[in-house]
């Protein structure tokens, strides 16, 4: 069986690598067509119009073919944490088609997320077709992720580490070898099917000078602050655009705003890897010379101002692209913002009279710091920048800046850009195995619906007869579709021992439920409420309607069964 998994991991790595290459080439073909001579006379206009066209076409595709869309990496995380690694077949082509249109026409996002989404869907459905178990499905999804990232960035080691950090895969020989094979295959596929050029490369990297350590640590703090800004603005932009109930109104509003931002700041157009390359060269002029604000880019003070504006607006442009209906990933925007932050940092030090600092060092390290802060993947950041940018001589400042940015950001906000939305819905896959198993459980796994109930004014002897008939240790007291309390044998015996002058009813003897559970509450919250209240049963509601009781006994049984399923090797 293990050798069969090794063969499958190579196959999945090959397929996900091919998907990434075709996705990248198709997108770049559209961008080259837009930049061709036929649109040369409308150079300024297409910066405004084409991003809107891309979003509208994406929405039209989704509406016409009833596609299920979603950002690739969070979708893969949710599939693992909530659906047992099962991804719909439609995801195989959905992310591919929509992201090509979105990014090809200038959407300010990346292609790595859709590549991961498509590859993950292929891995999941291949595992289902072969009737493999849960652990094998998750492993093939991880292999597809590693293959796609390795193919796009040409960084196989970073791709493996990203997968381990993202999905919390157990680092054992049975999981590491397939990841190595898939990542190497994906990287080789990308290399063989490309023209040999890298997304970006760095020149003039020198050895680490310990004298500059305080600046690198200060840069780590700046990366943490910008990471928080990234996540806050992304969430805020989503809330603003989501106010439009009509998806066409949402697409037009978001697309027009996106077009306006790109018209003012053309480097916001598309993925922005050419801008990253210019930042690595320290070439501020080529980045800012196209601004339509009439500001001189060769002035250091105004140049810093324009770079800050570009940094702040990039996350807005990426958020508008996603929330207006476009499909893309947040990996490329993170690298973009990191490169601009590093350039701002160097120019600000120059303005303060601190010269002769190697700009390429700070650009590379800021890219790593921002990845560590926004994605909560510090190891990925270190090895990604080292592999892509050739920054191995900077391994020490990369480690220190990434660790500091990760520590500060994680202390202020425990969720990454990928898990923020899932965490709010209780769907985050965590490194805690107990919590991870709980996220796989549904309310139906732990709920009892066939609970006998009585009215509050029911006589105590009738309550006793009902409790004896149902063969349970409690019955519910309900009124107008709501559970107002519960009765146990202990409650009935206590009421019988007391001296009552009037007939005792259920209302007199019952206990009120100390907490209410909503049907969509995560199991971790349910278990926490049971531990806090000391109750073995809690009422479950949906839209103010009582559905039944969640049982600690059933919850533990479902938990034990899930652990057995996870431990089972098909």
Q: What is the pLDDT of residues 299-327, one digit of tens each?
A: 778 788 889 999 999 999 998 898 888 88
Q: What is the rounded distance in angstroms from the CA atom of residue 381 to the CA atom of residue 397?
A: 12
Phi, psi angle pair for 560, to nearest 5°:
-65, -40
Crossing angle (nearest 10°) for helices 247-264 and 300-323: 160
Q: What is the rounded distance in angstroms from the CA atom of residue 183 to the CA atom of residue 246?
A: 41
- 198 has pLDDT over 80: no
Sign of the Cα pseudo-torsion (548, 553, 557, 563, in order): positive
Q: Read off the pLDDT of residues 238-294 as tens digits, 9 standing for 90 and up.
A: 666 666 677 888 888 888 888 888 888 888 988 888 899 889 888 887 787 766 555
On whether the CB atoms of residues 459 and 485 are closer than 8 A, the answer is no
Please, which residues bridge with residue 482 across strands?
479
Comparing CA positions, the residue from 300, 417, 303 lying closest to residue 352 is 300
On whether the CB atoms of residues 277 and 200 are closer than 8 A, the answer is yes
What is the pLDDT, as a whole number, of residue 197?
A: 63
Would you give the DSSP letter of residue 40? Answer: G
* Percent above pLDDT 90 for the chain: 23
- Superfamily of segment(s) 210-429: Clc chloride channel (1.10.3080.10)
Same fold across 210-429 and 436-567:
no
- 108 has pLDDT over 60: yes
- 569 has pLDDT over 60: no
Would you give the DSSP letter of residue 382? Answer: H
* Percent above pLDDT 70 for the chain: 85
On whether the CB atoms of residues 219 and 406 are closer than 8 A, the answer is no
- 433 has pLDDT over 60: no
What is the pLDDT, as a whole number, of residue 566?
A: 58
Q: Read off the pLDDT of residues 345-379 as tens digits, 9 standing for 90 and up.
A: 999 999 888 888 888 999 999 999 999 999 888 99
Alpha-helical segments (H) within 242-329 = 247-264, 273-281, 284-288, 300-323
Domains of the chain by residue range: 2-192, 210-429, 436-567
Out of 55-59, 471-475, 540-544, the most confident range is 55-59
- 171 has pLDDT over 70: no
On whether the CB atoms of residues 17 and 186 are closer than 8 A, the answer is yes
- 206 has pLDDT over 60: yes
On whether the CB atoms of residues 44 and 263 are closer than 8 A, the answer is yes
- 89 has pLDDT over 80: yes
Predicted TM-score of the model (pTM) = 0.77
Please, which residues bridge with residue 518 across strands?
541
- 495 has pLDDT over 80: yes
CATH class of 436-567: alpha beta
Evaluate whether the domain defined by 2-192 bears CATH number 1.10.3080.10.
yes
């Amino acid at each position: 069986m293990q050798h069969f998994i090794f063969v499958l991991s190579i196959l999945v790595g090959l397929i996900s690598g091919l998907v990434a290459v075709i996705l990248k080439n198709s997108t770049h073909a559209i961008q080259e067509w837009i930049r061709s001579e036929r649109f040369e006379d409308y150079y300024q206009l297409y910066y405004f119009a084409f991003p809107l066209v891309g979003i509208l076409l994406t929405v039209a595709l989704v509406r016409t073919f009833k596609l299920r869309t979603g950002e690739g990496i969070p979708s893969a995380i949710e599939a693992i944490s909530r659906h047992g690694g099962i991804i719909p077949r439609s995801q195989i082509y959905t992310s591919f088609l929509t992201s090509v249109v979105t990014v090809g026409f200038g959407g300010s996002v990346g292609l790595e997320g859709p590549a991961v989404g498509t590859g993950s869907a292929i891995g999941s459905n291949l595992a289902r077709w072969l009737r493999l178990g849960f652990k094998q499905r998750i492993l093939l999804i991880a292999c597809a992720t590693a293959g796609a990232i390795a193919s796009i960035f040409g960084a196989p080691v970073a791709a493996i580490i990203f997968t381990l950090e993202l999905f919390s895969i157990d680092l054992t020989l049975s999981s590491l070898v397939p990841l190595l094979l898939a990542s190497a295959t994906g990287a080789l596929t990308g290399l063989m099917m490309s023209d040999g050029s890298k997304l970006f490369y760095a020149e003039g990297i020198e050895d680490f000078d310990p004298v500059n350590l305080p600046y690198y640590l200060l840069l780590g703090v700046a990366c943490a602050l910008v990471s928080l800004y990234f996540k806050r603005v992304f969430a805020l932009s989503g809330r603003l655009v989501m106010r439009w109930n009509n998806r066409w109104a949402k697409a037009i509003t978001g697309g027009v705003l996106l077009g306006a931002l790109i018209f003012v700041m053309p480097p916001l157009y598309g993925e922005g890897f050419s801008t990253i390359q210019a930042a690595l060269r320290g070439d501020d002029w080529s980045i800012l010379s196209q601004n339509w604000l009439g500001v001189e880019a060769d002035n250091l003070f105004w140049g810093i101002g324009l770079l800050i504006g570009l940094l702040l607006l990039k996350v807005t442009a990426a958020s508008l692209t996603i929330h207006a209906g476009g499909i893309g990933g947040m990996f490329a925007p993170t690298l973009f913002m990191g490169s601009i932050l590093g350039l701002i940092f160097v120019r600000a030090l120059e303005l303060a009279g601190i010269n002769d600092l190697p700009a390429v060092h700070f650009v590379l390290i800021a890219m790593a710091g921002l990845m560590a802060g926004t994605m909560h993947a510090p190891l990925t950041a270190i090895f990604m920048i080292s592999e892509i940018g050739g920054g191995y001589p900077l391994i020490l400042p990369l480690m220190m800046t990434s660790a500091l940015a990760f520590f500060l950001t994680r202390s202020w906000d425990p969720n990454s850009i990928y898990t923020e939305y899932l965490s709010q819905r209780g769907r985050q896959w965590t490194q805690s195995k107990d919590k991870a198993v709980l996220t796989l459980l549904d309310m139906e796994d732990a709920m009892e619906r066939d609970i006998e109930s009585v009215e509050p004014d029911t006589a105590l002897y009738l309550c006793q007869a009902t409790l004896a008939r149902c063969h349970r240790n409690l019955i519910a007291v309900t009124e107008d579709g709501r559970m107002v309390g519960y009765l146990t044998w202990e409650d009935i015996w206590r009421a019988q021992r007391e001296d009552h002058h009037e007939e005792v009813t259920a209302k007199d003897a019952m206990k009120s439920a100390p907490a209410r559970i909503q049907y969509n509450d995560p199991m971790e919250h349910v278990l926490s409420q049971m531990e806090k209240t000391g109750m073995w049963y809690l009422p479950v509601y949906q839209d103010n309607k009582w559905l039944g009781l969640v049982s600690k006994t059933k919850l533990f049984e479902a938990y034990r069964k899930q652990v057995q399923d996870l431990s089972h090797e098909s």
